[in-house]
Structure 1
Amino acid sequence: MEHPALPPDPRREPRAFLEHLFRAAVHRALPLHNTAPFLPPPPRGRTLVLGAGKAGGAMAQAVEALWPAEAPLSGLVVTRYGHVPPRPPGLPRRIEVVEAAHPVPDAAGLAAAQRILSLAHGLTPDDLVLCLISGGGSALLTLPAEQLSLQDKQRINRELLASGANIAEMNCVRKHLSRIKGGRLAAACAPARVVTLTISDVPGDDPSIIASGPTVPDATSCADAVAILQRYGIDVPGAVMSLLEQGALETPKPGDAAFDGQQVHLIATPQQSLQAAAEVARAAGLAAHILSDEIEGESREVGKVHAALARAVARHGQPFARPCVILSGGETTVTVRKPPAGAAPGRGGRAGEFCLGLAQALQSEPGVWALAADTDGIDGMEDNAGAFVAPDTLARAMASGLKVDAHLQRNDAYGFFGAVGDLLVTGPTHTNVNDFRALLVL
């Protein structure tokens, strides 16, 4: 994803400036810029590349570009539909990339997971497996546990996504209802050496949570998964619940010999991308403050907290002096509410709902502009990356007959920001370091 060499003037073009910060953050996380230092030398035997995630296509191309031409290389990676980047001219195709559905798995993802697990069998100690893991891999690499159908997994996934559960909770359940996640893929690769290259999209950068950790040990338990299912009122087939309660679907744990000699490298993280955006802001003459790359919580409520901070800066110069940029990352959640009677279901994702809560709480505060977007270029299941908020957003909405409360009630951020022309549409970025939020206070 390209971004211009020089940022727009933040005072004259605040919206363009915020988009430039977003593009700088994404650029920092592109696989081709981050992979080379972590590639091991070719082994005596085969090199097999396996992977899953929204950055999978770009990660595969990076390995193809950087791996010695004379060294054997093959494999299979699954990514989201439409997330395969354009192929550079002259780059040999040595890794197969297939596409499947996200965030709700489909038959293509099931077929890809079956093939990946099959490729992992029959390896030797002389072989190397490069596992390319990025956010989205939980849905893309779907191989249901015994006595669980794809339709069951689809329903459970939908209910988890709508429940308000955080990513660690969702992925705990997904690991224990899978035959490939939660370290099981690494166990299948034994006795080959496994090197995992991962792009973090989770608060805290825990590799066991990213894409449900198919190649790393899992410290969570079947009992944890049961508690999460009960906490959010999510049903699973009775036979599967019995297996969970008996501990029969347990994952490989830390200390398991299957992980001996394996390596995991974080090649791109949310904090690195926030730092890249901060450097651009400072080069433009603005102070830049990173709140955290681990912010979680209900999207609209996190938006309100950010609004309170921006208003304090704008009105009182506390805790930061203006002009400044305030940055944050992490992964918020959206609890999907039943729309009011007669109302159509809403559209939108975490970034848009954050912006609705932000706009409502800012109440047209002069001098405050904001952008929230998902760094993969897709906010939820829509075609936008995120949305902007400006001092005149509410005025333009009112002129169009729109009310923030009504759109929040039906989780319809897309309809609100689309109607006022404040959506950010970038298309897939071919990486994924999760939420990006930037507030510009002038």
Structure 2
Amino acid sequence: MRNEQAATILRDIFQHAVDSARAGPVIPPNLPEKPRGRCVVIGAGKASAAMAAAVDAAWPDVDLSGVVVTRYGHAVPAGRIRIIEAAHPVSDAMSETAAMLIVETLRGLTPDDLVLALISGGGSALMVLPAPGLTLADKQKITRALLHSGASIREMNLVRRHLSAVKGGKLARLAQPARIVSLIISDVPGDDPTDVASGPTVADHSTPPDALRMLERYSIAVPEPVRKVLNQPASPVENAVNSEVRLIATPALALQAAAQAANRHGLTPLILGDAIEGESREVAVVMAGIARSVKQHGQPVRGPALLLSGGETTVTVRQGQAGKGGRNTEFLLSLACALQGQEGIWAVAGDSDGIDGTEDAAGALVFPDTLTRGKLSGLNALAALDGHDSYSYFHALDDLLITGPTLTNVNDIRAILIA
């Protein structure tokens, strides 16, 4: 198989996975019964604007209004629903403004009204209302430290819930006595709705001391206002009355769509898991070992095959090491280093939202000659990996995966093709 053919196949498979999670197809069949009164739409996440547009189109005859917040560059027109853009992965002033406007829309509701909460990954940063005693600057400082610490998304969102006035089910309680239905596009390993956007409509049973211990585990400096909040006694938040949660798109479903596309290309797919976590470069070494086993021994699957996995790996950045790149390009550069030019193995990895970290690429592709071409271009793969500069490496080879914002988010999609 030639590089060009392998790249076409991998791009197509990645695209099928992303398309399976788009709001247009998944929103209408998951809408609840129409309300007798008003429908107020709220939401936060990278997919929230596209989700809102799908609701507006599906219910032209309903008294509909609302506010949702998405990432800068991810907005689309949503008719009667107001779209706000804010910063990700570190919140900005618009994140706080959006949260206050969303809270305001929930005032004065009745039992005949319906609140549709459109929740997707990224909502933790995009909708921010600091807990009493905290400022936006406090939350920004903690978020930056968490992003560089190697903490998992589950651990990060544990902290965020306890520093927020709307996360961990608090937003849902503000909607009472209206009925609330949460439509969730999951981007978290395990699909626990408490972790998607830090669960603004789902009760949280962790405690503030749990969050403080997590910060201390990663040696994160805790500002005194944050410590004061996390030292408070736990006040349990129960699920709101008349509240329902519906998972409408998940990493597992996206991988199933990728597997179906692989079959159409004559490949035998093997899904290794939808909730794989760990340090990006270390996960890549494991995946390289499995790919070699397929190539050399036909185990655990005979080629031509496609190894599929999802989840969210992490990158621990120490002072002075910060280059350009995200967890997917770091995974791929480590994979290339581990494979050492093994013939007949290609790979793609990308964030399903189209943005890997803070750069303009979803991810990249790896070829058997990735390291050779890098050397010819004067690049040092191991140095780039150690400096977390994987984006720059793949950019120099013109091997980045550029999709633009996809307006959905079911976490990372990784595919390794073995001929």
The TM-score with structure 1 as length reference comes to 0.92
Matched residue type, 2:21: A
Q: How does 1:33-432 map to 2 (within 5 A)?
A: 33-67=25-59, 69-85=60-76, 87=77, 93-247=79-233, 250=235, 252=237, 256=238, 258-339=239-320, 345-432=322-409
Partners of 1:10 and 1:218 in 2: CA distance: 50
SS in 2 for 1:259: coil
Q: Give the conservation status (yes or no) of the 8 Å contact 1:80–1:100.
A: yes
SS in 2 for 1:306: helix
SS in 2 for 1:13: helix
> Taking structure 1 as reference, are residues 12 and 351 closer, same or farther at Cα in structure 2, changes over 3 Å only?
closer
Partners of 2:152 and 2:112 in 1: CA distance: 40
Partners of 1:240 and 1:151 in 2: CA distance: 11
Partners of 1:349 and 1:35 in 2: CA distance: 29
Task: Please report how far the alpha carbon of residue 239 of structure 1 lies from its aligned counterpart in structure 2 after TM superposition.
Answer: 3.5
Partners of 1:106 and 1:207 in 2: CA distance: 24
SS in 1 for 2:231: helix
Q: How does 1:7-26 map to 2 (within 5 A)?
A: 13-26=5-18
- Where does structure 2 lack aligned partners over 5 or more consecutive residues? none
Among all aligned residue pairs of Structure 1 and Structure 2, give the percentage whose two residues are the same amino acid. Answer: 55
1:25-68 CA-partner distances (Å, limit 9, x unpaired): 0000001111112212221221100000000111001101111x
Matched residue type, 1:240: V
Partners of 2:3 and 2:144 in 1: CA distance: 42
Q: Aligned residue for 1:4?
A: none
Matched residue type, 1:281: A
Q: Aligned residue for 1:3?
A: none
Partners of 1:154 and 1:329 in 2: CA distance: 28
Partners of 1:13 and 1:337 in 2: CA distance: 38
Partners of 2:236 and 2:332 in 1: CA distance: 38
- Where does structure 1 lack aligned partners over 5 or more consecutive residues? 1-8
1:370-429 CA-partner distances (Å, limit 9, x unpaired): 000000000000000001100000000011111122112211111111111111111000
Partners of 1:157 and 1:234 in 2: CA distance: 10
Moved more, 127-136 or 259-268: 259-268
Partners of 1:121 and 1:247 in 2: CA distance: 28
Partners of 2:397 and 2:201 in 1: CA distance: 44
SS in 1 for 2:270: strand
| Coordinate RMSD, CA, aligned | 1.4
Matched residue type, 1:219: H
Partners of 1:63 and 1:236 in 2: CA distance: 41
SS in 2 for 1:22: helix
Task: Please report how far the alpha carbon of residue 265 of structure 1 lies from its aligned counterpart in structure 2 after TM superposition.
Answer: 0.4
Q: Give the conservation status (yes or no) of the 8 Å contact 1:10–1:17.
A: no
> Taking structure 1 as reference, are residues 113 and 10 closer, same or farther at Cα in structure 2, changes over 3 Å only?
farther
Q: Give the conservation status (yes or no) of the 8 Å contact 2:324–2:391.
A: yes
Partners of 2:380 and 2:236 in 1: CA distance: 47
Q: Give the conservation status (yes or no) of the 8 Å contact 2:349–2:364.
A: yes
Q: Give the conservation status (yes or no) of the 8 Å contact 1:385–1:427.
A: yes
Matched residue type, 1:48: V
Q: Give the conservation status (yes or no) of the 8 Å contact 1:152–1:236.
A: no
Matched residue type, 1:335: T
Matched residue type, 1:328: S
SS in 2 for 1:99: strand
The TM-score with structure 2 as length reference comes to 0.97
> Taking structure 1 as reference, are residues 10 and 20 closer, same or farther at Cα in structure 2, changes over 3 Å only?
farther
Task: Please report how far the alpha carbon of residue 12 of structure 1 lies from its aligned counterpart in structure 2 after TM superposition.
Answer: 5.9
Matched residue type, 1:101: A
SS in 2 for 1:437: strand
Q: Aligned residue for 1:5?
A: none
Q: Give the conservation status (yes or no) of the 8 Å contact 1:49–1:129.
A: yes
SS in 2 for 1:364: coil
Matched residue type, 1:75: G
SS in 2 for 1:132: strand
1:223-258 CA-partner distances (Å, limit 9, x unpaired): 11011011112233324312312326x451xxx2x5
1:162-188 CA-partner distances (Å, limit 9, x unpaired): 100001110000000000111010011
Task: Please report how far the alpha carbon of residue 11 of structure 1 lies from its aligned counterpart in structure 2 after TM superposition.
Answer: 7.8
Which portions of structure 1, spanning 4 or more consecutive aligned residues, are displaced by more than 2 angstroms? Answer: 9-12, 337-340
